[in-house]
């Protein structure tokens, strides 16, 4: 996710520089044909083009609203994971006692059980974020774009691309559990299943009273719910028929835009010529310069056409980059940093040792 320092216009212009050059070419070619070659018929009336632009603006706005809704829902889900993780840890800390135990355990043994449950929860967080960072077919086109790939390599890092999931999880669970969860498909779900099984074992020996066991089981159900909500966003994309048509409509408007703007700037130049005839001395150098500019005023349509095309296309790309909030882009939900923050928080709650440091992010872009 971008910080304030990294998001300025310079970064956006660098990100979209290739398209800016393309828009300049698309705007220049019609002007060359119109003004130099003399194809004065090569233009479109502005009214229908304006109607098309209005329709495209509505479509882009609809897509961006839908994409932002997906992003904001994902953020709320992970906010729920943060809060529920703390609740889980407080229950682990206070509910596991010798009060009803059939065989009393030492303080170190109780602490070992609490550490086991909290570490297994960290493993669940790790498995969930790795699952959410996996590539989906509808996300691949963004990763394959040269500009996006270069921007990623130059400005930020994704930990899930650097460290295998096996190495990331292995330190939090036993060897038996490691073999069990990696023998099955959904590792995050399997870890919650192991967590539930362990709670039942603790209840059977009296380390957790029945009512408290039920409360802790409800928290595990909440984790399953939050995981399912995350999977829903990850596995169901913004409908591709809308995304594809939206992309086509934007490019149709961008291609036609220079042909509609040229005639308007040509008319402005003609008005300037009429004013020069009435108010400026025909023999002055200033008059000749102004007359030359007025006769070729259509060239000013190039920067304006480029600007409009850049605005529409950039808004389309922003929506495209926002619609999948877990894929590992610079504007996605920073689930890696949030997971590390949760780990530090909950391990401190149980007075654990060897707590890891917060991530240091490249260019302060938090992932």
Domain extents in the chain = 9-364
Instruction: Please give the Cα distance from 26 to 259 (Å, whole number).
Output: 10
Work out the angle between the directed axes of helices 335-349 and 107-133 (0-180°, nearest 10): 170
Rounded CA-CA distance 132/159 in Å is: 13
In this prediction, residue 3 carries a pLDDT of 45
Residue 191: Cβ within 10 Å count: 26
Distance between CA atoms of residues 356 and 361, nearest Å: 15
Instruction: Write the pLDDT tens digit of every residue in 232-288.
Output: 999 988 887 777 888 899 999 999 999 988 888 877 766 766 666 666 555 567 666
Q: Could you tell me the two tokens for 43?
A: 């233009």
- Cβ burial of 356 (10 Å; 0-12, 13-18, 19+) is exposed
Span between the terminal Cα atoms of the chain, in Å? 6
User: Are 182 and 166 in contact, with CB atoms under 8 Å apart?
Assistant: yes
User: pLDDT confidence of 202, banded at 50, 70, 90?
Assistant: very high
Lowest mean pLDDT among 41-45, 120-124, 141-145, 292-296: 141-145
Comparison of pLDDT for 85 and 165, the residue scoring more: 85
Cα–Cα distance measured from residue 159 to residue 228, given in angstroms and rounded to the nearest whole number: 23
Q: Which residue is associated with the tokens 């400026």?
A: 280
Residue 331 host element (H or E): none
pLDDT (mean) for 136-156: 60
Q: Which comes out higher in pLDDT, residue 88 or 320? A: 88
pTM value is 0.84
CA dihedral for 138, 15, 340, 5, sign (positive or negative): negative
- Rounded to an integer, the average pLDDT of 26-43 is 86
Burial (CB < 10 A; 0-12, 13-18, 19+), residue 186, is middle
CA angle, residues 153, 157, 163, in degrees to nearest 5: 120
Which residue from 320, 265, 263 is spatially nearest to 19, judged by alpha carbons?
Answer: 320
Tokens 């709650």 identify what position?
349
Rounded distance between C-alpha atoms, residue 137 and residue 243, angstroms: 14
Least confident of 46-50, 163-167, 265-269: 265-269
Left if phi > 0, otherwise alpha if psi is -120 to 50, otherwise beta: which for 259? alpha
d(CA 335, CA 77): 11
Q: Using pLDDT thresholds of 50, 70 and 90, give the confidence band for residue 342.
A: very high
- For 242, phi then psi, to 5°, come to -70, -45
């Amino acid at each position: 996710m971008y910080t304030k320092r990294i998001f300025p216009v310079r970064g956006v212009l660098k990100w979209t520089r290739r398209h800016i050059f393309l828009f300049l070419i698309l705007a220049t070619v019609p002007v060359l044909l119109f003004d130099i070659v003399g194809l004065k018929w090569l233009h479109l009336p502005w009214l229908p083009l304006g109607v098309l632009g209005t329709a495209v603006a509505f479509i882009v706005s609809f897509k961006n609203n839908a994409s932002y809704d997906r992003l904001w829902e994902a953020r709320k889900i992970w906010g729920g994971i943060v809060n529920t993780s703390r609740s889980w840890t407080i229950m682990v800390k206070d509910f596991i006692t010798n009060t009803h135990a059939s065989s009393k355990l030492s303080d170190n043994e109780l602490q070992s059980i609490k550490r086991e449950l909290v570490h297994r929860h960290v493993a669940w967080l790790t498995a969930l974020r790795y699952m959410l960072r996996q590539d989906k077919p509808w996300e691949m086109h963004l990763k394959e774009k040269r500009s996006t790939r270069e921007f990623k390599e130059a400005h930020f890092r994704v930990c899930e691309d650097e460290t295998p999931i096996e190495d990331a999880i292995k330190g939090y669970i036993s060897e038996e559990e490691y073999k069990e969860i990696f023998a099955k498909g959904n590792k995050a779900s399997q870890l919650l299943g192991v967590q539930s099984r362990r709670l039942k074992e603790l209840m059977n020996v009296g380390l957790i009273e029945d009512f408290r066991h039920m409360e802790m089981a409800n928290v595990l159900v909440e984790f399953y719910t939050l995981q399912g909500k995350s999977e829903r966003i990850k596995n169901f994309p913004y409908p591709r028929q809308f995304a594809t048509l939206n992309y086509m409509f934007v490019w149709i408007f961008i291609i036609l835009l220079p042909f509609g703007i040229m005639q308007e700037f040509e008319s402005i130049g003609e008005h300037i010529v009429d004013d020069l005839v009435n108010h400026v001395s025909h023999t002055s150098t200033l008059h000749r310069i102004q007359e030359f500019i007025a006769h070729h005023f259509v060239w000013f349509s190039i920067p304006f056409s480029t600007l409009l095309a850049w605005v529409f296309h950039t808004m389309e790309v922003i929506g495209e980059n926002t619609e999948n909030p877990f894929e590992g882009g610079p504007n996605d939900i920073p689930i890696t940093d949030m997971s590390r923050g949760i780990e530090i928080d909950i391990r401190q709650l149980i007075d654990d040792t060897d707590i890891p440091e917060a991530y240091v992010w490249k260019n302060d872009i938090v992932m």
